[in-house]
Chains A and B, each alone.
Chain A
Amino acid sequence: MATETQSQTAQSTDRSFADRIDAWLAEDMSPKRALAVYAVIGVYMTFLLLPVAYMVLATFTSADFLYSPRLVPALGDLTLQNYVSILSTGLFQQYFINSTIVATSTTLLTLVVGTLAAYSLSRFEYPGRNTLLFSFLGTQMLPRVLILIPFFLVMFSLSLIDSLLGIVIAHSVLGIPLGTWLLKGYFDDIPKSLDEAAKMDGCSHLDILWRIIIPMSLPGITVAGFYTFILSWNDFLFVSILSQTAATRTLPFGLQLFQSQNTVAWELLLTAATITMIPVVVLFAVFQRWVVEGLATGGMKGT
């Protein structure tokens, strides 16, 4: 909207300026234009990536450098000591293992439950189907903090406080609505004639799901799985409610405790943070093609 009015006023008040811009832009991919594109991308990428890059660089330097008024480390400042220290810390190992177990189990549970639900929503006609479809999406609107209190009480009465299973269930449920919606979009794209043909050959519904739908929508399943994994790996809120001891803490909660101590050991905190982001960044790098496409198109289709 704002851009619309801006360009309108630009057109009406300063015709000649707009004309000059038009003339300049009109030359398709002139060197000037390519340069401008690179400048925009370059400035923005610096803004996005410099903070992350600086953190990663800092993890390879000694505390002496970090607490000195210098911006750029010298060769002598470089060390792997921070990684050695943090990786040999028992608590950090525990958090990392917990995070891995939780995020992996969450992804599997969400995919199984979400695939069944999406198949039901995509291929079956029954009363209440549309209501279900939209209530799945409606859950995204609910303030999670409103859920939090009764959620805590429910988990308490199910004896799921301070258990990894409780965290896995909570995270799965957060992932299921959007995961199901994404998968339904992919399933809908598979022609129903394939189902019919399989039915003729004597396939049951579950055969169709297993042999046709799932293999054909692997990119969609990857996107849903990736989305669930980062949701679980990154969650702080629900872990902070459910986790009471170090045995069930995951990385985001562990890092938060680390951070809130009065004297922050920045070199260790930054290293721990860097290690925390590695799995999601690696997963993203591996699946980025599907993820970027899936979220850009499938996510839109979903809503």
Chain B
Amino acid sequence: MATSTDTGPTGGRYVAEFREFLEETWLGYALILPALILMGVIIIYPTLRGIQLAFFEASLLNPEQQTFVGLQNFAELLGDATFREALWHTVLLTSVAVSLQYLLGLGLALALKEKVPGAGLFRSLSMVTWVLPVIVMVIIFRFLTQSGFGPVNIILDSLGMQTAAWFGRPGVAFPLIVLMHVWRNTPFYAIALMAAMKSIPETQYEAARLDGAGPLQRFRYITLPQISYVSMIMIVLHVIFTFNNFDIIFLSTGGGPLGNTEVLATYIYKQAFQQYAMGYAASIGVVMLIIMMVFTIVYASLEARE
């Protein structure tokens, strides 16, 4: 930069400025280039190829041979009962898990923001579930609920209640999946919401108190509006994560029992890597992408209106 600031004999001020502008631009691009190349190869190109694949009949066993089939894959999806089930499970899981996480996270945030001794320690401890590898969480939950000598079954047995391999139970497996999501993600909501609550100036509460507002009113008219932005972000992020999540379900139930927990992500994986139906799998991926895009656009427009 030092060199380009002196206006040499070759040009006037504008030339020098233009040269500096060029140099800035060039360096700016150069610095971001490694990231762009990596992302281009690993994310952007595969995404475009994935979208393109959705219009082809292609097998993973013979990826070179691809036949253009137009919208046929999508037409097949319409008649595919497993796909409809998986779509329904995905939507149900996302909405139930995200609502529960938010409400529980809100409650926990209200408790954690209190200035009781030890709250800081709890804040840190609560994040442990969030850093655990998904496979470790799955092993813990499978161990706790295994048939025979799983602790949950030992307790149920001692209470004279029914015991079972709970992840293999239709009707129980799905709630267990929801429970794992809630267990894992609630602390993150709690920490984020708590941070947002703590950033509200105490004077606002003082003023409300002077006006005679009770705690519930203060929560309703001060806390809630001021955490609404963070709340929206947390909810949107987790809708996206939950909707697209693969490993929690794949590792815990694999979509079973009897397809009871099959979601779009696990169905794609099976179609692509077990049935080798690449094109068909890609078309499911495109449906997921469209749903997420619609969701994001609706969110962005809501955000813009505020």
Contacts and interface: CB of A to CB of B under 8 A. Distances in A.
Contact of A125 (B28, B31, B140): B28
Given A34-B116, A66-B149, A143-B265, A154 B45 contact: yes
B268 A145 contact: yes
B98 to A, nearest CB: 11
Nearest to B182: A47
Contacts of A10: 216
Interface residues of A, number: 112
Interface of B: 1-2, 24-25, 27-32, 34-36, 38-39, 41-47, 49-51, 53, 60, 63, 99, 103-104, 106-108, 110-112, 114-116, 119, 122-129, 131-136, 138-144, 146, 148-149, 151, 154-155, 157, 183, 186-188, 191-192, 194-196, 214-217, 219-220, 224, 230, 233, 237, 240, 243-244, 246-247, 250-251, 264-265, 268-269, 272-273, 278, 281-282, 285-286, 288-289, 292-293, 296
Interface of A: 2-4, 7-8, 10-11, 18-19, 21-23, 25-26, 29, 33-34, 37-38, 40-41, 44-45, 47-49, 51-52, 54-55, 58, 66-71, 112-114, 116-117, 119-121, 123-127, 129, 132, 136, 139-154, 169-170, 172-173, 176-177, 180, 199, 202, 204-205, 230, 233-234, 236-237, 241, 251-252, 255-256, 259, 266, 269-270, 273-274, 276-277, 280-281, 284-285, 288, 291-293, 295-297, 299-300, 303
Given A234-B134, A269-B139, A276-B133, A284 B296 contact: no
Contact of B135 (A142, A173, A256): A256
| Majority-rule SS of B interface residues | helix
B192 A300 contact: yes
A149 B60 contact: yes
A126 B24 contact: yes
A83 to B, nearest CB: 16
Contacts of A47: 183
Chain A interface secondary structure, helix, strand, loop or mixed? helix
Contacts of A132: 32, 36
Given A25-B214, A37-B114, A170 B103 contact: no
A269 B141 CA distance: 13
Nearest to A199: B1
Contacts of A177: 39
Nearest to A234: B133
Nearest to A65: B149
Nearest to B225: A4
B128 A49 contact: yes
Contacts of B50: 146-147, 149-150
B251 A154 contact: no
A140 B240 contact: yes
Contacts of B151: 54, 71
